[in-house]
């Protein structure tokens, strides 16, 4: 199963917004609404920030939002803060009892 495609890096200045894309196929993102996003700080475990394409778990700031259009899911981080600097990973159910992750995007807050 091929990994989902994410840009290796993204950046923005404090208070700005940045959007990270996650491109799959009609067999994964395009077919199922089981898209999740994770934030991972260096040396730490991943943290779920978006599930089911748009659902934000309790405790996650509403500055984080998710969406999907066709085979591409997106994570938008609004009002960038220094602590948002981290690696971000998308994942999607890919059918046939398989889960795939994106390669990850390193977000830099300038």
Partner 1 sequence: QEQLVESGGGVVPPGKLLTLSCGASGFTFSSRAMHWVRQAPGKGLEWVAVISHDGREKYYADSVKGRVTISRDNSKNILYLQINSLRGEDTAVYYCARDRYSYGWGGGDAWGLGTLVTVSS
| Residues in binding contact with partner 1, number by CB under 8 A | 25
Nearer to partner 1, 42 or 110 (CB): 42
Residues 43-72 that bind partner 1 (CB under 8 A): 45-48, 51-52, 57
Binding segment toward partner 1, per CB under 8 A, in 16-24, 69-77, 78-86, 91-99: 91-99
Name residues contacting partner 1, limited to 7-36 (CB under 8 A). Answer: 32, 34, 36
Query: Secondary structure of the chain in the HEC alphabet?
Result: CCCEECCCEEEECCCCCEEEEEECCCCCCCCCCCEEEEEECCCCCCEEEEECCCECCCCCCCCEEEEEECCEEEEEECCCCHHHCEEEEEEEECCCCCEEEECCEEEEEC
Residue 101 within binding range of partner 1, rule CB under 8 A: yes
Residue 93's contacts (CB-CB under 8 Å, 6 or more residues apart) are 28, 32, 34, 99
Find the binder of partner 1 among 76, 93, 107, 109 (CB under 8 A): 93
Reading the block at residue 21, the tokens are 């894309």
Scanning 11-19, 21-29, 70-78, 102-110 for contacts with partner 1 by CB under 8 A, the matching segment is: 102-110
**Residue numbers at the binding site for partner 1 (CB under 8 A):** 1, 3, 32, 34, 36, 38, 40, 45-48, 51-52, 57, 89, 91, 93, 97-104
């Amino acid at each position: 199963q091929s990994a989902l495609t994410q840009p290796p890096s993204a950046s923005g200045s404090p208070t700005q917004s940045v959007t990270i894309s996650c491109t799959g196929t009609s067999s994964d993102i395009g077919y199922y609404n089981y898209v999740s996003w994770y934030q991972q700080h260096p040396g730490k475990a991943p943290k779920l920030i978006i599930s089911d394409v748009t659902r934000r778990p309790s405790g996650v700031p509403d500055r984080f939002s998710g969406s999907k259009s066709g085979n591409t899911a997106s994570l938008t981080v609004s009002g960038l803060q220094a602590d948002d600097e981290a690696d971000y990973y998308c994942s999607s159910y890919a059918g046939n009892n398989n889960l795939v992750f994106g390669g990850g995007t390193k977000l830099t807050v300038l």
